[in-house]
Every structure is written in C-alpha cells, then in structure tokens.
Amino acid sequence: MINTFIGDLGHASVIVAFVAAIVAALAYFMAAKGKPLGDTDLNWRNLGRGAFYVHTIAVLSIIFSLFNIIYNHRYEYYYAWSHSSNYLPTHFMISCFWEGQEGSFLLWIFWHTLLGLTIIWFNKKWEAPTMAVFAFVQLFLTSMILGVVIGDLKIGSSPFILLRDFMTDAPVFKLNPNFIPKDGTGLNPLLQNYWMVIHPPTLFLGFAITLVPFAFAIAGLWKREYIAWIKPALPWNLFGGLVLGVGIMMGAYWAYETLNFGGYWNWDPVENAVYIPWLVLIAGLHTMVIYKRSKHALRTTFVLIVTTFLLVLYATFLTRSGILGNASVHSFTDLGLSGQLFAYLAAFVVLAIVLLVRHWSAIPATEKELTTYNSEFWVFIGVAVLCLGAFQVLVTTSIPVYNSFLGFIGIKSNMALPADQIAHYTKFQLWMGVSIAVLSGLAQLLWWQKNDKSKVMNALAVPLILTFLFVSLVYMLGKIELIPKINSVSYFVLLFVSVFAIFANLSMVLTLVRRKVNLSGGGIAHIGIALMLFGILFSSGYSNIISKNTSGLLYSRDFPEDINRDNVLLFRNEKVQMGPYDVAYRGRYFEVKDFPEYVNKQLLFQLPDEHQALVRADIKYQDKVYFKTGDTVNIYPENTYYQVEFKNRETGKAFTLYPRAQVNPEMGFIASPAIKMFSNKDIYTHVRVAADDKEKQWSELKEQDLAIGDTLFLNDYFAVLKAIEPTRDVKGIELGANDVAVQADFIISGEDKDYHAHPVFVIKDNLVGRIPDEIEDLGLRLTFLNIDTKNNKFKVGVNTTQKDYVILAAIEKPFINILWIGTIIMSIGMGMAIFKRYKETKTVTNPDAGSSKKRAVRNKQMA
C-alpha cells in the first residue's frame, strides 16, 4: 500500500521551512535595520528568532521523512527507488540520502541551521544582521527542494515525489496506479565506500561554515563595524579551512581507494570547484591574521572573505547545473535548476559587490609601508600567490562556462579543457607549491623575530643547513636506487623548498615550546602543508607503473615504439613477472555476510535468490569453522573480488590483494582498486578488464566411457575417476525416499594442485537429472551422463572453455603516506589555532590593546 503520509509530511515541512526562512530573513532585517550593532529591535528579533526555530524544526522533519522513506524501502517514492535497494547495508543508506542532489542540498541546509543556532545562542550582539544573511541563504537553498511548478516555471526539485508522478508514461501505472516496485535500482557502486558516508557531510559542513565569516563581513559592512567583525569571524574561518581541507583530502582518499583513475587527484572540474574556494579561504585567513597584528590588509580581507563564499556558490553552480556534462565524470545530472542556481549566485554576487563598493572608502586602510624584513610583507606575498593559484584553476575550470556563455549570446565556440589536464595544472600549481613552501618557512621565522637582519640570518642558518643535509641524503638514496631518483630541476626545487619549510617551521615550533610561549598552531599547520607537498612530489611525480607488458611478444601494430603498454594480462594461476614481483591471479571471490575474509566463489553455489549461496566445503578463518558444508550463507553478489598474489622474488615475502569490480546494470564494469601499504610506498592495483562470466563459450560436449580407475585426458590436464558413490546431499534438490543420486569422484591434476570434481547423476520421480561440476581454475566442466550397469562403465561428458583471466594495472606510489600524515598534522595545527583564536574572542578587554601588549611580552621573551 502506498504510504502518502510520509511524503506529504516531508513536502509540507519543506514549504514550512521555506516560508519560515522568508519570515526570519525579513524579521531579522527589520530588527537590524537603521540601528547600530547590538541595538536591535526586540520585537522583530523575537519574531526572526522564532521563525528560525520553526525553520530548524521543519528541516529536521524533512530529514526525518526522507530518511524514513529510504530506510523503510518505500519504493513508491522516486528518491528511494532510484538511490536505494533492498540489500543495502544501513550505513550505505545514509549515503543514498545524499546521493541525489536534493539530499545533498538538504545536508547543506541542515548544517546552516546548526550554525545559525550557535550564532543565535553565542553571538547575541551580532545576531540580527548575521542571521538576516543566514535566513536569506536558507530561503534560496530551501527553494531548491521546493518542487513547485507554476506554469512553465519549475521552482526546486522535491525529493518527495512519487514514482508514478515522476514516470507518468510508464505503462505499469496505467494498469495499476498503486504499483510499488519490489526493489530499488540501488546506490552507485562507486559510492559504496565508507568514505562516502563521511566525506559529503564533512565537505558540506565546510561549505556551510564559509557562510559564517561571510555573514559577519556583510554585517560588518552593513553596520559600519569594519573592524569588530574580524574577531568573531577569525576562528570560524579557521574552522572552515580545517573542515573544508579535511573534506577535500577525504575526497582525495576516497578517489584513491575507490575510483580507478590511478590517483587521489585528477584535476576534475568537480574537484577543482572545492579546491578554489579553499585556497581563497586560506588566503583570507592570512590577511585576517595580518590585520590583527599590524592593521594592514583590511580591505583585502573583506574581498577575500566575501569571495570565498561566492566561490562556494559558483562551485555549486558548476557541479549542479549540468554545465560540465561533457567535461566531468562525476558532476550531478541536471535537474533543470540551472536558472534558479544562477539566480542564487547572481543575487549574492550583486549584494556583496554593491555593499563593498558603497563602503569601500570608509574601510580603514593604513598608509604604513611594509619592509622586506617584515613578516607581514611575506605573508601578504603568500596570500597573493594563493589567490593567483586559485585564479589559475578557476580560469581553466570555467572553460565549459565560456562555451555556454558564448553560445548563449550567439557565438559558436569549440574550446575544450586541456587534453592533458594534469600537465596543464601541474605547470602552474607546482610553482605555487614552491612559493608557498618558501614563504611559509620564511614568514614563520620572521613572524616570531624582531625585524632585523642579523636575527633573521641566525634563525635561517640552522634550517638551511639541515635542509642541505637532508636533501643530499635524499639525493644519495636516490642514486643508490633505494628511493626514486630526483631527475628534474623543478622537482628538485620542490623537494628543496618543502624540506626547508619543514625544518624552518619545525625550528620555530621547537623554539616556542622550549620558551613555553604560546604554541604556534600556524607553524604546525605549515609543517603539515610542507609534508603534503613532499608526499605529493614523490607519490605523483615518481609513481611507477610496474604492470608493464613484459611478455616479450612483438606485434606488428601501428606505432608501438613510444607507447607505454601499461597493463598485463593474467591467466588464472599463471605466474607473470611484474617489477620485483611474481604475480598470479588466483580466482574470483565473494564477500560473505558475517565472515571476516573473502570466500572463493568455487566454494559457493549460488541459489536462485542470488544473494544466497550454499556452502560446498567448510569455511574456516583462523581454525574457527564459520560455516559447514551445506549451510546457506548470505552473499553480496554485486561485487566480485579478484584474488591476486604478489611474491617478491628477492625477499620471498608475499601478499594478496583483492581488487574489486562490480558489473552494474546502469554503469557497466566498475572497477575499484586494492592497495597494499608499505612504510615507504603503496602498491595500487586495479582490474581493467575481466573475462566475462556470462559470455563464456563452452566447447562441444565430448563423451567418454570410463571404468573406475581410468584416466581421462583433458586439454593440458588429466583426470582419474576415483570412485562412484551414492549421495544424499544434492545442491538445490530435495531428495525423496525413492529417489537416487550418485556422484562421480574425479581427481584432476592442475598446475599447482589437485582438484576434485563431483558431477552428480540423479533419478528423482523417475526422471533423470544431471548436475555438472565446473572447475573454474582449469576451464573444465564434467557431466555425469549415464550409467552402463551391464559393462560397469560410466559415460562422462567434458566441455572446455577459455581460461579465466584479468587484465591488471599495478602502480607503485612512493611516500604517499607522507601526504596523509601531512594532512593530519595540518589539521592538528589548524585545530590548535582555532583554540587559540577562540580564547582570544573570550577576552573582554579592548582587543587591539590586549594583543599588542601580549605581543610586546612575547617579543621580550623572544629577545
């Protein structure tokens, strides 16, 4: 029975949330209008607050309704049907929630409500003007899931639409309007990864947090509080930088672990769309810190904070309007909301620019010049580098937008993204990385010193000496081929500067610890960044394909000389040399519910319900028997794991990897890599092609008459008929009292081991049945055809097929761990900085006096 209640509840909640956002925006606007900061009209403010509470409750109700639809498999709703399925584990149901555009908008809306509540409760002075901005943003966002059609105008796309209303033409609904599909179409296999459960919420929290500094900046302009907004906004901006940075790296890690493009970053427009605002956010963070210390760069701060939020909106527009359709592999499909998204973007661009222009001359600026021995000067240069880096990515990523725009005004344009995107972006971003590393080291040393030449030189000496030593060491190790040898000038420069940045920042952090002064979160974050650069340099610059085709076969093909043949064909159980390893593909495996390892497909006999299988031999793990022969187990048939054994020829050490592939009816063959981690490198493998199980072609049946003990020759193998024995356990058949079943016991000698085959001959209800047995490893199928009781002979049929194979790519990624470690250290550093800046907002004294006094003390201690 169709449950319309829950959908109606959800849809009604969307409308309530939308209306409440309008009321809250208006009321807060009126509360703040024409009054100085902190002096709010209490009636209007109470109305605004009440409306925002109603909005929050309505948003929770929307989330409850949508999750209820997904969790209870209510496939009468389009959202559940198209994103979920019966066998999906609960944690992936959470992923389904935000697989669709509507759900991800909802996630974003949800974070905004939480952030709005913290402002209401903890920033009373700023509440009215900032919450006016918040509610205004919520108004736009809730409109995206409104799902109201007025004439030709479609406002928003509702997640609560019924399947029959979505597919009005489907014949099923003409026959039976109450038809409910038994199963959904399932979650995109690429998203079936635990990182996808936490990556989107993290990223959207990061997106949401950028609204807070933006709202403070707008409130600051509006209320002519050009300076006071920095203090509450700074810890929020740091928090946003932390969450967004972690979110981006989670996405990178997900891509590395799940996608098969062979890396963690592909310069895909969707990735860039998040990277650009993050760079600008970090730039804005630094100008805020400059301003707090020396009253420089206030106007720049305004511009950068506002731009960060606008770039988040631009990112949303890029990824959701369908404009990247031809350019990106993983942008959302177009929901027909591009006009609405554009309106949203345009509204905030105009609002922000108008406010900035009107107040520009009133924003205080200092006339003091900065000297070269001044740390602020170098930080400012760093900010410029970050902005240029962001600008470069923006210019290239927007190419599809130029095409659309030119097409819109009637000019035909055939510009495309660069053919080699990685080379294109690396060309610029490498030097941005180099500059950032140098500047972060230099500025950090200068920041804690007095601005005089000899002190600076002293502080530089130790890190520089250590850098020379360490770089020489890396170079030597490369020469004796223990680690990759640095062979390009630009990579050498990057190595040098990232090591310098590590030592310079480390020396400063250690100095501060020793003197028990305020610990530098900034220094630690910079060490993290420098480590990340180091990890990126080696893992990307020196990633090494070890799956080169070394079979030695020469083909008379078109132009093989300069082409890398990067994939290796592995026949089942045949060893192939790959780099220092002997590699063998051992077979297909399945995931079995409640069992800690993958299970060989040969041990499982799939039942008509393909999520269940009969066990053909005891399944053990560490001497504990989990399942006995004949048990029925639950399996996840979507995913096949290909067992690949690696054995190092020199050390003799072996390991096993299970790259995964899912043959998805919607998306075809989706491969996911398997990664072996070592302390100094990762080995990353993925299946490019697997022999198609369904299109297996069997040779014609060959019949043979055998007696017990006879030998049978099959292709390259031979088999011996050991015995004929009666059996009562026949897979999938219930035997009655008068039924008979016998099985033949063959032993077949394979390359590595012997195999048993048990074809079965059944007489049930006077009908003959034959259950063949297949030895996948050898590509053989034996059928027990008949019993010749007179001569005591048995007729056996043999079919053979092409042996199973996979085509594998394997890549070594040196020092990739350093990238992940760097990410963690960066996060810790930023966390410390947040803590410190948050404590500063708690000090009641005049902020400027306080911080300059503190600085004087600090300088004295340093001297």
Partner 1 sequence: MKRSHIIGIGIIALAIGIIISSAGDASMYVSFKEARELASEGKTSKVHVVGRLKKDAQGHIVGMEYNPVLDPNYFSFVLVDTLRNEQRVVYFQPKPQDFERSEQVVIMGNMQKDSFVADKILLKCPSKYVEKEIKQTASL
* Residues in contact with partner 1 by the rule CB under 8 A: 82, 163, 167, 170, 172, 175-176, 179-183, 185, 326, 329, 333, 369-370, 380-381, 384, 387-388, 391-392, 395-396, 399, 414-420, 424, 427-428, 549, 553, 555, 557-560, 563-569, 665-669, 688-689, 805, 807
Point out which residues pair with 570 in neighbouring strands. Answer: 806
C-beta separation of 539 from 683 below 8 A: no
In angstroms, the Cα distances linking 170 to 117, 164, 166, 167, 186 are 45, 8, 9, 6, 19
**CA 386/CA 423 separation, integer angstroms:** 19
Cα distances (Å, whole numbers) of residue 720 to 651, 717, 725, 747: 38, 10, 15, 5
Closer of 173 and 470 to partner 1 (Cβ): 173
Helix boundaries (H) for 33-89: 42-71, 78-83
Any idea how long the chain is? 863
* Contact call for residues 448 and 511 (beta carbons, < 8 A): yes
Torsion of CA 237, 241, 242, 243, to 10 degrees: 100
Confirm if 400 and 480 have CB atoms less than 8 A apart: no
Q: How far is the CB of 710 from partner 1 (least distance, A)?
A: 33
Distance of closest approach, residue 414 Cβ to partner 1, in angstroms: 4
User: Which DSSP letter does residue 35 get?
Assistant: S
651 φ/ψ angles, rounded to the nearest 5 degrees: -90, -15
Q: Judged by CB, which is closer to partner 1: 489, or 553?
A: 553
Cα 270 to its chain centre, rounded Å, is 11
Distance from C-alpha of 60 to C-alpha of 686, rounded to nearest angstrom: 41
Residue 3 CB, shortest distance to partner 1, in Å, is 16
Dihedral sign computed on CA atoms, order 354, 359, 364, 370: positive
Q: What is the spatial distance between Cα 757 and Cα 221, in angstroms, rounded to a whole number? A: 81
CB of 737: closest distance to partner 1 in angstroms? 36
CB 522 within 8 A of CB 379: no
Which helix (H) or strand (E) segment is 582 a member of?
strand 581-591
Between 262 and 769, name the residue whose CB sits nearer to partner 1: 262
We find the least distance from the C-beta atom of residue 384 to partner 1, in angstroms, to be 5
Nearer to partner 1, 369 or 452 (CB): 369
Residue whose CB is less far from partner 1, 65 or 392: 392
Q: How far is the CB of 339 from partner 1 (least distance, A)?
A: 20
C-beta atoms surrounding 661 within 10 Å: 23
Smallest separation (angstroms) from partner 1 to the CB of 217: 22
What would the 3-class secondary structure string for 740-751 be? EEEEEEEEEECC
Measured from the CB of residue 293, what is the shortest distance to partner 1 in angstroms?
A: 17
For partner 1, the closer of residues 45 and 572 by Cβ is 572
User: For residues 566 and 710, which CB has a smaller minimum distance to partner 1 in the complex?
Assistant: 566
Nearer to partner 1, 326 or 699 (CB): 326
Minimum separation from the CB atom of position 59 to partner 1 (A): 29
* CA quadruple 825, 826, 829, 831: dihedral sign: negative
Q: Which is nearer to partner 1, 88 or 370 (CB)?
A: 370
Tokens read off for 835: 């803590």
What is the nearest approach in angstroms of partner 1 to the Cβ of residue 116? 36
- Residue with Cβ nearer partner 1 (42 or 416): 416
